[in-house]
């Protein structure tokens, strides 16, 4: 039995929807970062699936997926550093109550 493109797209859509819901509804900054990572994983699934089923002879989608993983790792490192710095200064970690980043 061979799995087609549709199950991968459905899985990616479900993961992206869960990440979007978490990013919109959660107030904790760590949960916000986790939701953004879930959305990035859904994008990577789409990149790899389209690379496999649409253009199987080239590895463009795989290269883009690896690139987005590197960017996501940098985002997590920078995001956690910012969260720790803000928490040390104000002892607050909820996104709604933070006013230091406003212009």
Q: What string of pLDDT tens digits covers the 103 residues of the chain?
A: 788 889 999 999 999 999 999 988 877 777 888 898 899 999 999 989 998 888 888 888 888 888 888 988 888 888 888 778 777 777 766 666 666 555 5
Residue ranges per structural domain of the chain: 27-96
What b/e string do you get for 72-86 counting C-beta neighbours within 10 Å, with b at 16 or more?
beeeeeebeeebeeb
In 3D space, the residue among 4, 85, 20, 13 whose CA is nearest the CA of residue 43 turns out to be: 13
- pTM for the structure as a whole: 0.78
Measured CA to CA, the distance from residue 70 to residue 6 in angstroms comes to: 27
């Amino acid at each position: 039995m061979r799995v087609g493109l549709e199950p991968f797209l459905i899985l990616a859509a479900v993961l992206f929807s869960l990440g979007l819901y978490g990013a919109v509804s959660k107030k904790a900054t760590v949960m916000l970062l986790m939701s953004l990572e879930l959305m990035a994983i859904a994008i990577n699934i789409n990149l790899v699936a389209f690379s496999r089923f649409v253009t199987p002879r080239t590895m463009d989608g795989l290269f883009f997926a690896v690139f987005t993983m590197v960017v996501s790792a940098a985002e997590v490192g920078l995001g956690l550093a910012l969260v720790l710095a803000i928490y040390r200064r104000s002892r607050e970690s909820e996104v709604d109550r933070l006013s230091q980043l406003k212009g």
